[in-house]
Chain A
Amino acid sequence: MANVDRREFLRLVGAGGVGAGAGFMLAESIKHPVEYLIPYPVPPEEFSPGIATWYNSVCGMCPAGCGISVRTREGRAKKIEGNPLHPVNQGKLCALGHAGLQVLYNPDRLTGPMIQNGERGADEFVKTTWEDGLSRTADRLAAARQDGIYFLTQGVRGHLANLFELFMGELSSDRLLHYDFAHPHALYAANKRLFGEHQLPYYDIRNTRYLLSFGADYLTNWLSPVHHSLGFGHSRHGNDGVRGRFVQIEPRMSISGAAADEWIPARPGTEGFLALSVAHRIVADGHYEGDDAGEWRKALSAWSPGRAASLTGVSEATISRLAREFARADPALAIGGGAAANHTNGVDNLVAVSALNYLVGNIGKPGGVVFNPEPVTGASAIDRQANYRTMQKLVEDARDGKIDVLIVNNTNPAFSLPLASGFREAMAAIPTIVSLSSFIDETTLMADVLLPSHTYLEGWADDMPEPGVGFPVGAISQPVVAPLYNSRSTGDIVLDLSGKLGFNEAIPWTSMEDVLKDGWRRIYERGAPEPGDFDSFWRDVLVSGVWGENVRRGDSVTIAPGAIEGMAVSEPRLAGESGDYPFILHPYLSSSMYDGRGANLPWMQELPDPMTSIVYGTWVEMNPVTAKEMGLTDGDLVTVTSGTGSIEAPVVVFPAIMPDVVAMPIGQGHDALGRYARNRGANPIEILAPETDSASGNLATSATRVALAPTGRRATLVKTGGESRQLGRGIVQSTGSRSSRGHSAKLNSIPIVVEVAESAVVESA
Chain B
Amino acid sequence: MNIWDRFVSSWREFRKDGYYDEFDYAWTMTIDLDRCTGCGACVTACQAENNIPIVGEEQLGRGREMQWIRIERYWEGEYPNARLKFIPMLCQQCDAAPCETVCPVTATYHNQDGLNAQVYNRCIGTRSCAVYCPYTVRYFNYNDHRWDAPLEQQLNPDVTVREKGVMEKCTFCVQRIRQAKDQAKDDGRRRVRDGEVQPACVQTCPSEALVFGDRKDASNRVSKSMNDARAYRVLGELNTQPSVIYLKKVDADAD
Contact = CB atoms under 8 A, between A and B. Distances in A.
Contacts, number: 286
B254 to A, nearest CB: 4
Contacts of A748: 236-237, 239
Interface stretch (B2-10, B67-75, B104-112): B67-75
A197 interface: no
Chain B, interface size category, equals: 35 or more
B44 A607 contact: yes
Contacts of B70: 608, 720
A745 interface: yes
Contact of A237 (B34, B41, B77, B80): B34
B233 A747 contact: yes
B49 A79 contact: yes
A756 B218 contact: yes
B170 interface: no
Contacts of A745: 227-232
Interface in B49-73: 49, 54-55, 57, 60-61, 65, 67, 70-73
A726 B85 CA distance: 10
B231 A752 contact: yes
A122 interface: no
Contact of B153 (A76, A220, A226): A76
Contacts of B101: none
A233 B207 contact: yes
A73 B179 CA distance: 14
Nearest to B251: A734
B83 interface: yes
Main SS of chain A's interface residues? loop
B206 A757 contact: no
A724 B54 contact: no
B124 interface: no
B204 A258 contact: no
A495 interface: no
B1 interface: no
A732 to B, nearest CB: 4
B156 A255 contact: no
A71 B50 CA distance: 14
Contacts of B82: 253, 263, 655-656
A351 B246 CA distance: 41
Contact of B44 (A99, A225, A237, A262): A99
Contact of B156 (A78, A105, A744): A78
B79 A656 contact: yes
Contacts of B251: 734-737
Contacts of A720: 60, 65, 67, 70
A616 interface: yes
A80 B204 CA distance: 10
A243 B57 contact: no
A93 B54 contact: no
Interface in B233-252: 233-237, 239, 241, 245-246, 248-252
Interface of A: 73-74, 76-82, 89, 91-95, 97-99, 101-102, 105-107, 219-220, 225-226, 229-230, 232-234, 236-237, 243, 245, 253, 255-256, 258-259, 261-265, 484, 591-592, 602-608, 610-611, 613, 615-616, 623-625, 655-657, 659, 675, 716, 718, 720-721, 724-726, 729, 731-745, 747-748, 750, 752-757, 760
22 contacts: A74-B157, A79-B156, A89-B206, A102-B151, A219-B39, A219-B207, A232-B37, A232-B207, A258-B83, A265-B80, A608-B65, A613-B73, A656-B84, A716-B61, A731-B74, A731-B234, A732-B87, A735-B249, A739-B229, A745-B230, A750-B241, A754-B215
Interface of B: 21, 32-35, 37-41, 43-45, 47-49, 54-55, 57, 60-61, 65, 67, 70-80, 82-87, 148-151, 153-157, 200, 203-209, 215-216, 218, 223, 226-237, 239, 241, 245-246, 248-255
Given A243-B250, A739-B229, 20 more contacts: A76-B153, A78-B155, A81-B203, A89-B206, A92-B208, A229-B206, A233-B206, A233-B209, A731-B72, A733-B249, A735-B250, A737-B251, A739-B255, A740-B230, A745-B228, A747-B231, A748-B239, A754-B215, A754-B218, A756-B218
